[in-house]
Amino acid sequence: MMRSGKHQTTMQRHGVTALALLGIFATSCASTPPLSDTALCDQLNAWVQTVAPGRTSTVKLVRGGTWMVDHYKRCEPSEGDSAAGNLCRWLMENTSTEFMEANINITMACLQGQRISGYVGNTGIESWSGKASFYSSNLVAGDVTIQLEYALDNSGESREDFLEITASAD
């Protein structure tokens, strides 16, 4: 069956429009992630500001088990530290259970303004560990040193990855 020229032109226009919209939608999903997660930065700021001079406060976010089998997440605050407990509760509700590298990456972005670019989770990192000390972080609290210690290892089945943040006020 032969279509009329007018009908074929209309179909071609609709096809071009559909392809253009598909291209717009596809590229909007591939945008660059922000340098930091301001919600986490705000929570870290609130916590750090509660640390009294001469005191230290710590939170440790842990992810363990075998992913999709028996994985879990927990947070351990400094004993008797209600501000650290509040941060832990927030971290439990608002951080990734699956991708500890995302939690590390976003935390570092809050402290130094840089992050590994790319997707927030599943960065392709097999293992990553280290320590960092920030005497002048991007947080608003002055005279506070932030210590970061972290480790993850995606090469094994069952493991325990962690992100530990310690704030010490001078």
Q: Tens digit of pLDDT for each residue in 6-34?
A: 555 544 554 444 444 334 333 333 333 34
Q: Tens digit of pLDDT for each residue in 99-114?
A: 888 899 889 888 887 6
Query: How buried is 161 (Cβ within 10 angstroms: 0-12 exposed, 13-18 middle, 19+ buried)?
Result: buried
What's the pLDDT at 166?
A: 97
List of long-range contacts for 113-120, beta carbons under 8 Å, 24+ apart: 113/35, 113/36, 113/138, 114/35, 115/33, 115/35, 115/36, 117/32, 117/33, 118/33, 119/33, 120/33, 120/96
Our measurement of the distance from residue 154's CA atom to the centroid of its chain's CA atoms, rounded to an integer in Å, reads 17
pTM of the model: 0.73
Q: Is the pLDDT of residue 55 over 70?
A: yes
Our measurement of the distance from residue 74's CA atom to the centroid of its chain's CA atoms, rounded to an integer in Å, reads 16
Domain positions in the chain: 1-31, 38-169
